[in-house]
Structure 1
Amino acid sequence: MATTRRTQQERRVHAEAALLNAAAELVVEHGVRSLTLARVGERAGYSRGIVTHHFGSKQALLERLARSTQAGFVPGLADLPPGLDRLLRLIDGYVGALGDAGTMHRAFLLLWAEAATASDLAPIFRERDEAFRRDLRDDVAAAITDGDVPPDTEPDDVAVAVVGQLRGIGLQRLLDPRAVDTARLRHTVTDHWRQALRPIDVGGGDGHPYQIPR
């Protein structure tokens, strides 16, 4: 019985992955307006009924797609403590990953842009952006505590600016890949934030100026 349950679970995971990938492909190729459960099932090689069985509705499918595309986009961050180093690594890794963004992430960016005028998508992407900003705010707040960022820095403002910049670069990359050299740009953007968040050089308690990690 245990073996049968594991096999069923594996089949479920495989089917859901195939359906999400099919949905992402359709969004990239034809836009979210053309996305239907029937088309997703057909693209994945299943019936519409199995799409409904797994997700229940188009809205639930889009919510799952939005969550799954962001998971692990920048690897190697989970083991890093919040702080300036983690923030800069996230920025660098995000821009770098845009150079080889797969179908899932391209679909996320298109859906994110669509959410500005689509009431059914807006709540999903407001929640995803808030989660992203919260992660960035934690890094900035920790960096302030560590003395790596000026104490008058506003974590909320930094988070909004970083998310806007990263998402904007991603959309530009989708529109005109040749105009956005992510291999070079990642260093430019990361260095911009390293410099922007640098504390003013003043004497520390030990007589030495504050230094920002590089």
Structure 2
Amino acid sequence: MTTARRTQRERRDQAESALLNAAAELVVEQGVRSLTLARVGERAGYSRGIVTHHFGSKGELLNRLARGTQTGFVPGLDGLPPGSDRLLRLIDGYIGALGQDGVASRAFLVLWAEAATDPELAPVFRERDEAFRADLCEDVRAGIEDGTLRGDLVPAEVAVAIVGQLRGIGLQRLLDPRAVATERLRHTVTAYWRRSLHAGGG
């Protein structure tokens, strides 16, 4: 009985993963407005009914896609305490991940850009950006408290600036990959923030 349940769960998880990957591919290729549950099912090799069973609606599918593409985007941060080291690793790792050109990261950037004019996407990405900024604020506050970051920093302002830069680099990479050499840029940008934020400028 336990084995049967596990197998069923594995099949369900495999189907959801395939459907989310198909949705990401379609978003990258043709944008959000052309996305339908039927097309996602067809791309993944399933019926529209299966897509509806797993997600219920296009809105929930996009919600799950947005959350899934952002989760684990920068590996190696779990378990690190808040502070300047985690902050700089996030910046470096984020730009490095952009260079991998995975369909999930490209889909997230397309969704994020379209959220500015799509009322269905806007609430999801406001929440995602708010969570991203909250994590950055936590790092900045911790760095100020332990003396590694400048005491005159305003965490919320630093967070807005970092998110803006990282997402802006991502959109440039999406539009013209040749113009954004991520392996060199990640070191330049990380060094810039280290100089700008650290106490003593070092």
Per the shorter chain, which TM-score range? over 0.9
- CA–CA distance in structure 1, aligned partners of residues 49 and 135 of structure 2: 37
Tell me what 1:62 maps to: 62
TM-score for both structures, normalised by structure 1: 0.93
Cα deviation, residue 71, structure 1: 1.0
Pick the structure with more helix per residue: 2
1:189 correspondence with 2:189 = yes
- CA–CA distance in structure 2, aligned partners of residues 45 and 6 of structure 1: 22
In the TM superposition, what are the counterparts of 1:1-214 in structure 2 within 5 Å?
1-200=1-200, 212=202
Segments of 4+ in structure 1 off by > 6 A? none
- CA–CA distance in structure 2, aligned partners of residues 181 and 84 of structure 1: 25
Give the count of matched residue pairs. Answer: 202
TM-score for both structures, normalised by structure 2: 0.98
Post-superposition CA distance 1:130-168 (Å, at most 9, x none): 111011000000000010112221000000000010000
Post-superposition CA distance 1:31-58 (Å, at most 9, x none): 1110000000000000000000000000
- CA–CA distance in structure 1, aligned partners of residues 81 and 18 of structure 2: 34
Name the amino acid aligned to 1:156: A
- CA–CA distance in structure 2, aligned partners of residues 55 and 104 of structure 1: 18
Gapped regions of structure 1 (runs ≥ 5): 202-211
- CA–CA distance in structure 2, aligned partners of residues 168 and 114 of structure 1: 14
Name the amino acid aligned to 1:186: R
- CA–CA distance in structure 1, aligned partners of residues 106 and 198 of structure 2: 33
Name the amino acid aligned to 1:11: R
- CA–CA distance in structure 1, aligned partners of residues 71 and 101 of structure 2: 13
Cα deviation, residue 119, structure 1: 0.8
Q: Highest CA radius of gyration, 1 or 2?
A: 1
- CA–CA distance in structure 1, aligned partners of residues 54 and 120 of structure 2: 20
Post-superposition CA distance 1:7-48 (Å, at most 9, x none): 110000000000000000000111111000000000000000
- CA–CA distance in structure 1, aligned partners of residues 178 and 34 of structure 2: 28
- CA–CA distance in structure 2, aligned partners of residues 146 and 72 of structure 1: 27
Cα deviation, residue 66, structure 1: 0.4
Moved more, 1-10 or 37-46: 1-10
